[in-house]
């Protein structure tokens, strides 16, 4: 098994065609076919099904391509780290951002990293907290923002921000940021909620239990964008972090107010694997991300948020 074979199966899997893969790899088609066949013979199983519509991965092929992508990514990172420009930080960093934070953080972070560390290549993946944690556990992320998570035996978590959750309603409801809404009032309305098991849904359900409120859930979704769209269309209210709806409220497409009775907060942390070497490129990206978050809170760009006191446990090993 060699790097050329790994590149061949990944490329064929992505484009679904040996001919197209050969063009992208600057090889002749028989060479790509031979690399795949040789690897299949070594593994003793078929990696692709040859169909009239192209090359389709088998179950074994899906496993192999997933592992091959990670191996190639690690080799690419190693090359960047061992062939540095003297006096400059180099490398590839894959960072996870919570969906609600991307509008605030992605562009300024990319700009700051490009300005201070032009030889660092930044890869941004966005999702909800549960997906990001899984990707971090699987080794697909170097570090990520998560929420309501403490340090674990495998992860180092640095608390960064605590922010309130807000009730979000159609503009006609007239909610205001200076008039917190009791949770019981929220529960009296039809609700568009995150799907069960979602970390945000867990927070909402726990708050409802403390308030003794029964939730009238009319729709559930794993998309914050869909939540807001359904609210704008008048289907009901929802609950979201203040950062996720700040721009919508400013434009007047929804109305929003902080939750009260009980007040509900989420804690955002920066997580990284505990037991592995942290490349310098990852460290400088983590530092820049923290700098951007602190600036956003101090300048009032992050509604109802406050910086966490201290850096949390394991300060000497924090990301």
pLDDT band at 196 (very low <50, low <70, confident <90, very high): confident
Q: What's the number of CA atoms in the CB half-sphere (13 Å) around residue 290?
A: 20
Residue-level pLDDT at 311:
43
Q: pTM of the full predicted structure?
A: 0.69
3-state secondary structure 88-156: CCCEEEEEEEEHHHHHHHHHHHHHHHHHHCCCEEEEEEEECHHHHHHHHHCCCCCEEEEECCCCCCCEE
**Which of the four pLDDT bands, split at 50, 70 and 90, describes residue 94?**
very high
- CA 21 centroid distance within chain: 30
Which single residue is written with the structure tokens 């907060």? 265
Angle made by CA atoms 96, 100, 105, in degrees to the nearest 5: 65
pLDDT for 319 equals 57
Residue 177 near residue 257 (C-beta atoms within 8 A): yes
Please state, for a pLDDT cut of 90, what percent of the chain lies above it: 46
Mean pLDDT on 295-315: 75
Q: Which residue has the higher pLDDT, 208 or 70?
A: 208
User: What is the per-residue DSSP string for 290-319?
Assistant: HHHHHHHHHTT-STTEEEPSS--S-GGG--
Tokens of 145: 């923002």
Query: Tens digits of per-residue pLDDT, 200-238?
Result: 888 899 999 988 888 999 999 988 889 999 999 999 999
Alpha carbon distance 298, 100 (integer Å):
18
Structure tokens at 174: 């007239």
- 4 in Cβ contact with 71 (< 8 Å): no
Write down the residue that tokens 């549960």 correspond to: 130
């Amino acid at each position: 098994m060699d790097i050329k074979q790994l590149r061949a199966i990944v490329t064929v899997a992505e484009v679904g065609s040996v001919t197209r893969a050969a063009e992208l790899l600057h090889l002749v088609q028989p060479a790509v076919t031979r690399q795949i066949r040789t690897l299949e013979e070594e593994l003793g199983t078929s990696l692709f099904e040859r169909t009239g519509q192209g090359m389709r991965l088998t179950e074994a092929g899906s496993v192999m391509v997933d592992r091959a992508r990670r191996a190639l990514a690690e080799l690419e990172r190693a090359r960047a780290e061992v062939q540095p420009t003297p006096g400059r930080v180099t490398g590839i960093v894959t960072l996870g951002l919570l969906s609600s934070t991307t509008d605030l953080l992605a562009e300024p972070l990319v700009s700051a990293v490009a300005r201070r560390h032009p030889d660092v290549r930044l890869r941004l993946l966005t999702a909800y907290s549960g997906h990001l944690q899984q990707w971090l556990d699987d080794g697909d992320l170097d570090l990520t923002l998560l929420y309501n998570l403490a340090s674990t035996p495998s992860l180092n978590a640095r608390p960064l921000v605590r922010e309130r959750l807000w009730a979000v309603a159609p503009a006609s409801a007239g909610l205001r940021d200076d008039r917190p809404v009791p949770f019981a009032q929220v529960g009296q309305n039809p609700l568009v909620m995150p799907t069960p098991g979602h970390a945000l849904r867990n927070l909402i359900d726990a708050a409802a239990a403390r308030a003794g409120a029964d939730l009238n859930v009319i729709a559930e979704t794993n998309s914050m964008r869909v939540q807001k769209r359904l609210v704008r269309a008048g289907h009901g209210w929802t609950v979201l972090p203040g950062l996720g709806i700040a721009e919508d409220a400013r434009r007047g497409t929804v109305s929003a107010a902080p939750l009260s009775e009980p007040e509900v907060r989420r804690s955002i942390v920066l997580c990284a694997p505990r037991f592995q070497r942290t490349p310098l490129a990852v460290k400088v990206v983590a530092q820049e991300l923290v700098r951007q978050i602190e600036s956003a809170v101090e300048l009032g760009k992050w509604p109802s948020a406050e910086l966490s006191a201290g850096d949390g446990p394991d300060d000497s090993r924090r990301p």
